[in-house]
Amino acid sequence: MSGYTFSAENLKEIDKLLKRYPSKEALTLPILWMVQNDLGYLSNIALREASKILDMPTSHFYSVASFYTMFKFKKSEKVFVELCKSLSCELNNSDELYEYLKTRDDIELVRVECLGSCGSSPMCAINGKYHENLNIKKLDTILGDKDAL
């Protein structure tokens, strides 16, 4: 990658958020999401651009992003699955889903704490989108529909 430029749409959104949020630092997560949604991961070049926009060190973005499992620092062709491992999902057989997902080599799998969708457990996020009330058959159907991912 030779460079990264925030789109006009993203810059407009940043301006809007700057007026609404109490500090520039509060825009850290929205900007990280913009980059990841744009590239599929957080590139060094994009984070340097983000640091210029917020006038903060690049290390700030790394320190925040590295705290969360949903941010990625490497580009991957694999489908990114965050499988909840907390109580409601565990009680509803998320371990069975985990064993199934481990067998697939087209998936980058991360087990995460509660994603806030306990009432529809077991669940996971696939490329950031929630899929709920899962069983192996339903999960297999979802993963087979590459256009919907």
Q: What residues make contact with ligand FES under the rule CB under 6 A?
A: 84, 86-89, 114-118, 121, 123
Residue 81 Cβ vs ligand FES, minimum distance, rounded to whole Å: 14
Provide the CA 28 distance to its chain's centre, in angstroms.
Answer: 14
Q: Which tokens sit at 102? A: 């481990």
- From 104, 98, 149, 114, select the one nearest 128 (Cα to Cα): 149
Q: Select 29 or 112, whichever has its Cβ closest to ligand FES.
A: 112
Q: Select 34 or 115, whichever has its Cβ closest to ligand FES.
A: 115
Burial classification of residue 120, based on how many CB atoms lie within 10 Å of its CB (0-12 exposed, 13-18 middle, 19 or more buried): middle
Residue 128 Cβ vs ligand FES, minimum distance, rounded to whole Å: 15
Q: Select 57 or 116, whichever has its Cβ closest to ligand FES.
A: 116
Residue 115 Cβ vs ligand FES, minimum distance, rounded to whole Å: 4
Residue 116 Cβ vs ligand FES, minimum distance, rounded to whole Å: 6
Residue 118 Cβ vs ligand FES, minimum distance, rounded to whole Å: 3
Q: Select 123 or 139, whichever has its Cβ closest to ligand FES.
A: 123
Q: Select 43 or 121, whichever has its Cβ closest to ligand FES.
A: 121
